[in-house]
Structure 1
């Protein structure tokens, strides 16, 4: 036989009294037959809204609000201190850290945090947008095709239109429990484990590519692909033009990068990572950055694209092929 609303309300009251959640049944008035009071009592009896640990953590709206606090902050390459300046991934990391969520430092690592979102049409405020392949820029989605980002040297944190299709969209927050400790700072691209990580298993000097990539926010696979094409990973290589070492740095270029010894693999890879980071920022294109690495940025600007030099025309697809072989 059905208990009816009054019977159910009585049972709820018994449960409340047993659990010590509310005063005894006598405190329930006859108006308990009201649908609103039934829903309210049911919520109390099940613990909803009672601070039982089921409360959700920060929302996408919280991410947006936290990000807007940094509007106007100067762009500083490698910047992680809002008082001095932030770069793109430094901004994303700081915003989420303000909300108790720890993300990795580099843009290509942040592009693997959380879970993937299929398209911009499915994106929600607070999602992380990543651009280019390898990833070299990140921003926080605001909704309505707008994002907040630290764009480039000489600029500042600002709101922009989403000017191109993101290569990755990641949702970091999905009804995160407020009491949960969120630490995604150790996240790396799939398969990244030690020197054999990120598709670099068996690649000579893999540790150096991983270290320099993490330090300068450049894909380790891209560094490895450049080294393969430049020298076949030979740290003693010298070209007819005088380029030296595994990354084939010209003496003047090496000095400009602060590389004292281009034959030292660690110095060479670190210098090349800094050089590629700058070129990727400047040209916002992997093929153009590679062309500039080979022929110089001036030549790329002068010809408005990959220069018509046979060496450079062959060099760019070779590196892209080597990068693809590494899964980049």
Structure 2
């Protein structure tokens, strides 16, 4: 990405003051964004793309692709699924920010901790901040949150649909 596009992205994400009144777990997003100095709108857009704000959704991955989505009816049911997946070495993503099993292990977390939406959002912000420190506030940092380059376009479109940025 060229320097001009980076500058435009940073300006758009840092200067727009939209509250997104309809966002579930808004207080959690505000707290996580402030704690890790991540644009609130960007964190919300990522959660919208990743889970549609569903706190217990679990994706099972194979070869870099989601092969099965599990939508538990309760936190207890989600915890049972997670324990099974964890114990059997599955590659999975969990919760609002779809935190991947590799990050769960790397950060020394228990998968069930991430069924709490606020905890999940904090971890999501932390992972995004790691990418921003490595790549700057760029589309490169954003797509690396998910691991696929086309992911940045999904986040961009979510920002547009939420009114955070105007389509050009």
User: What's the TM-score, normalizing by structure 2?
Assistant: 0.65
Q: Of residues 139, 160, 164 in structure 2, which corresponds to 1:287?
A: 139
SS state at 1:243 partner: strand
Cα offset for 1:189?
Answer: 6.2
1:256 paired residue number = 106
Distance of 2:9 and 2:26 partners within structure 1: 17
Q: Are residue 245 (structure 1) and residue 95 (structure 2) matched?
A: yes
Distance 1:323-1:257 versus aligned 2 partners, 3 A rule: farther
Cα separation, 1, equivalents of 2:129 and 2:109: 16
**Shift in Å at residue 313 of structure 1?**
4.0
Task: Could you tell me which runs of 5 or more consecutive residues in structure 1 were left unpaired when the two chains were aligned.
Answer: 1-130, 136-166, 169-187, 192-197, 296-311
SS at match of 1:239: strand
- How far off its partner does 1:201 sit? 1.1
Q: Distance in 2 between matches of 1:275 and 1:213?
A: 12
Q: Is the 8 A contact 2:50 2:98 kept in 1?
A: yes
CA distance in 2, matches of 1:274, 1:240: 22
- Larger fraction in helix: 2
Alpha-carbon spacing, 1:133–1:251, altered in 2? closer, same or farther (3 Å)? farther
Partner of 2:52: 232
Structure 2: how far apart are the matches of 1:314 and 1:293? 11
Rg larger in structure? 1
1:316 aligns with: 152
Shift of 1:264: 1.3
Contact conserved, 1:258 with 1:271, CA < 8 A, in 2?
no
- Misfit runs of 4+, over 4 Å: 131-135, 188-191
Which has the higher relative contact order, 1 or 2, with Cα contacts under 8 A spaced 6 or more apart? 2
CA distance in 2, matches of 1:274, 1:133: 23
Gaps in structure 2 of 5+ consecutive residues: 1-5, 62-91
RMSD over aligned Cα, in angstroms? 2.5
TM (norm. structure 1) is 0.35
Q: Deviations over 1:1-27 (max 9, x none)?
A: xxxxxxxxxxxxxxxxxxxxxxxxxxx
Q: 1:313 to 1:207 in 2, by over 3 A?
A: same
- The number of residues matched between the two structures is 126
Q: CA deviation at 1:314?
A: 3.3
1:203 aligns with 2:23: yes
